[in-house]
Amino acid sequence: MSETVYAAQPAPEPDYDHLLRANLERVFNERDADRRAAALDELYVVEPVMFEPTNVVEGRSAISMVAGNLLEQFGPTFRFKPVGTAVGHHGLGSMQWQAGPDGGPIVVSGADVADVVDGRIARLWVLLNHPEA
């Protein structure tokens, strides 16, 4: 009798576009701290890490604080908006974005690059584009 060997099927890829758009909208555009915390619980692993150009932020509550401070700092109509569709494979996703006041100029642009584990963001790198001259 011969033995049949089956290769393990890789886990299905997460929907990177849905996950990273939800992160922008429900975490970084959310002004209500309780709704932002609920989104972080859903979208991030228990102990996430976010890497900013000049800071390393550890934990959901610290990421929530950073998001809230950004929104407060830049005013009541400041928003992050995705540019195009997020792409990813094998647990790494990337989404381009831009931000500024509604109807106003783009103040900052960049990309989020996420290490995704079991469909949730484990580590997030925030990459900022150089300002245009």
* In the chain, domain spans: 16-128
Place of tokens 């300002």: 131
Contact (Cβ atoms closer than 8 angstroms) between residue 49 and residue 113: no
pLDDT tens digits, residue range 21-67? 999 999 999 999 999 999 999 999 999 999 999 999 999 999 999 99
pTM of the model: 0.88
Please give the pLDDT value at position 76: 94
Confidence class of residue 133 from pLDDT cuts 50, 70 and 90? low
Which CA distances in Å does 115 have to 6, 25, 45, 81? 28, 18, 10, 20
Question: Domain 16-128, CATH 3.10.450.50 — does that match?
Answer: yes
Q: What is the DSSP letter of 32?
A: -
Please give the pLDDT value at position 130: 87
Among residues 109, 119, 113, 112, the alpha carbon closest in space to that of 45 is found at: 119
**Residues above pLDDT 70, as percent of the chain:** 90
**Whole-angstrom distance, CA of residue 79 vs CA of residue 100:** 6
Helix (H, G, I), strand (E, B) or coil at 62: helix
